[in-house]
A = this chain, B = another copy of it.
Amino acid sequence: MEKLPNIHPGEILNEEFLIPLGVTAYRLAKETNIPQTRISEIIKGKRRITADTALRFSIFFGNSAKFWLGLQDDFDIENELSEKQEEFNSIKLFAIAS
């Protein structure tokens, strides 16, 4: 198994939505009433997708808020896993006390 580069939600926003649809970050900011800085930082992977952001995106793009939060979750989970492998290995599955 290769380890995927772990692509962040901002990259998907840009490459799967903005570019194909011909929407600029500026326009997205204006139409969703999100400050430009927030959009800019999300695209650069410096900021997370929150529920507020997810809802605004979902209304504008016509998809679901869970899609956007799901992207963030996947990204977070992958990052945590690769950072704390050993830590997590020490946790054992629940078992009823004997």
Chain A contact residues, CB within 8 Å of chain B: 21-23, 31-33, 50-52, 54-56, 59-62, 65-66, 69-70, 73-74, 76-77, 79-81, 84, 87-88, 90-94, 96-97
Contact = CB atoms under 8 A, between A and B. Distances in A.
Copies of chain A in the complex: 2
A contacts with B: majority SS = helix
A41 to B, nearest CB: 19
B88 A55 contact: yes
B91 A60 contact: yes
A81 B94 contact: no
A84 to B, nearest CB: 7
Given A22-B96, A84-B52, A96-B22, A33 B91 contact: yes
